[in-house]
Chain A
């Protein structure tokens, strides 16, 4: 055993720190463990550095109560995509469309079908529902013009076609109006929801901050009181000590005087 000199064969400091952190190869570990029982210096240093590590464990960064990237407990740092398209809440399928629009579209389809099938569908309180064919009048015959001038007959638009066009335009106008209204209301609703969220978040934050401030004030007063008590205690101790010293000095002086008096007598 050597208590004054370390005789470890190798880079002793590096091996010691590797052993300390348990980040060491098996061969080095074996060699160092064989060396340790015989070396008081290494054992002492190992213990001391382990204690240092124990002390380091007490060093914690301050708590981040409000998140690292934000001001609310749950609003930590986040990556958001500002370019992500806003999800439209408009209807995507026929089933999602309003009832009146579905009915209008159905009427349009029925009307077009009737027109194509050359059917006449009528309803009256007296006759009830009646379906007849051939309501569409044949196109007027083209009177041949006297020769030598030959003119092509201009096609006369059917009356149902005009109705169909008007109905189609009405339906399309309705659809467009509804789409515009939906978009606008979507925007308003989203904005309202955002504002509402912001207000709620702000209220929550204020409540939280208020609670924190109140707790802080309570703690401050408690700690201040504790600190004052410690100071008073310390000062009292000092006064007592100094008083004791003064009393001792006085007693010594009295003793000295008494001795002198007795000697003079």
Chain B
């Protein structure tokens, strides 16, 4: 039987390392995806992901059990992403070259995917990444949390520390910008 996050947290707080490892197994990919979509660099996203779980492990005794573990871990990850952007003074989200790198694209091709499909997929991904890169941090984060992690508006508001209506406005504005960007790009995304 699969244990819930709350059960695993309780056991982890009691010193059971295996339970914490199960939490990592469960949440490492969502956290990595969040970090990647927020900061746009694979290696840095890995670092942020590892640091997130390390911090969570150290702060576990202070974790209030009435909060959801996922919200807590998302908050840690987002804070680290924010710190990363501030520290590195880098433009978040990948900077794509003018022309797509076909060689790099080839490295990601699956055995069953044709070159044409791969080019189309990568082209789409590149356009989305570029469009997302142009969004302000708050709008991008709100879209990432809603679109890819399925958080409720209230959860996003708690994470971003803003009113519920602000989250909806950020999403609306961000999606509207993306709509214009997609319409403007040579190959329509949507």
A interface residues with partner B (beta carbon < 8 Å): 11, 13-14, 16-18, 20-21, 23, 48-49, 51-64, 68-69, 76-81, 216, 219-220, 222-224, 226-227
B interface residues with partner A (beta carbon < 8 Å): 17, 20-21, 24-25, 28-29, 32-33, 36-37, 42, 45-46, 49-50, 53, 57, 102-103, 105-109, 115, 121, 124-125, 127-129, 132, 143, 146-148, 152-153, 165, 168-169, 171-172, 175-176, 178-179, 182, 189-190
Whether the Cβ atoms of A68 and B46 lie closer than 8 Å is: yes
Q: In the assembled complex, how far is the CB of residue A216 from the closest CB belonging to chain B, in whole angstroms?
A: 5
Whether the Cβ atoms of A222 and B24 lie closer than 8 Å is: no
Whether the Cβ atoms of B102 and A55 lie closer than 8 Å is: no
Q: Which of A18, A52, A68, A79 counts the most chain B CB atoms within 10 A?
A: A52
Partner of A220, one of B21, B37, B103: B103
Given contacts A21-B146, A56-B178, A223-B106, contact A69 B50 (CB under 8 A): yes
Given contacts A14-B169, A16-B172, A21-B146, contact A55 B128 (CB under 8 A): yes
Whether the Cβ atoms of B124 and A17 lie closer than 8 Å is: no
Whether the Cβ atoms of A79 and B57 lie closer than 8 Å is: yes
Whether the Cβ atoms of B107 and A77 lie closer than 8 Å is: no
A197-B156 Cα distance, complex, nearest whole Å: 45
Closest A residue to B128 by CB, please name it. Answer: A59
| Chain B residues within 8 Å of A16, by CB | 172
Whether the Cβ atoms of B106 and A219 lie closer than 8 Å is: yes
Whether the Cβ atoms of B20 and A55 lie closer than 8 Å is: no
Partner of B37, one of A18, A49, A61, A224: A61
A13-B172 Cα distance, complex, nearest whole Å: 6
